[in-house]
Structure 1
Amino acid sequence: MSTSDLVLVKAGPYQFLARFESKDAPKTVAMFRKLLPYRQKLIHVRWSGEGLWVPLGDKDFGVGFENQTTHPAPGHILLYPGGYSETELLFCYGGVSFASKMGPLSANHFLTIVAGNENLRPLGERVLWHGAQDVTFDVADEAT
């Protein structure tokens, strides 16, 4: 795996290394690469379970559905490109059944945490009990 396939994710006081799912979600990965470094706030999901999200309103990234799932695993990061609900990023730390007030949704799995997984639950609980946390996605370098 080359460093061009890796993303350094800093969320709250934690650091993770994620791998792009380039083979299965090429359009989403290409779009997200152009955004790096990408800074936002993570808040706890309302409907989906043990996940964090970045609400993005009516933002249109110009990608459709690919490699979509409704039941992501801990460490999966998804993009919901909009439609029935608002555009969003979903950062899973435990059991998730992706949904909105409109019902079940599916989103593009385009990043997977490959290092730092032991801090997924502590991050999720921190956001749940202490509120929004800064998150930054950036290209991982050789030293990461």
Structure 2
Amino acid sequence: MAEILIVEDNEANMRLARLLLMNAGHSVLWAADAECGLTLAREKQPALILMDIQLPGMDGLAATRLLKRDPHTAHIPVIALTAMAMKEDREKTRLAGCDAYVIKPLRYKELYEVIDTLLNPSITPPT
């Protein structure tokens, strides 16, 4: 399976995401803030990044914009993880460069579907 980076400052959310990804056969890298996440993304080149939007210091949207501007990380799909569920919040994540959007609390079927779609572009997303 794939190596996935989780950037999440909440310990409980991090544990849940790690467990879900590991149960699906993925290997997991993790960072508690955007700066560490950016460094890991550049160094390890994960197949995908789960990015919390509300992070201490630099938020996940700013971090995603930096990732997408960097030729070494621009190709890495980013899934926004957020408790914000308004239409304009989804648009903000899209404008920042996020490839998908998953609302917390995480629902494993939705998370797996989004990951599978991004890692295997030939898969048609469910309607």
Q: More helix per residue: 1 or 2?
A: 2
Q: Fold-level match, TM-score > 0.5?
A: no
Q: Which has the higher contact order (CA 8 A, sep 6+)?
A: 1
Q: TM-score band, normalised by the shorter chain?
A: under 0.3
TM-score (norm 2): 0.27
Q: More strand per residue: 1 or 2?
A: 1
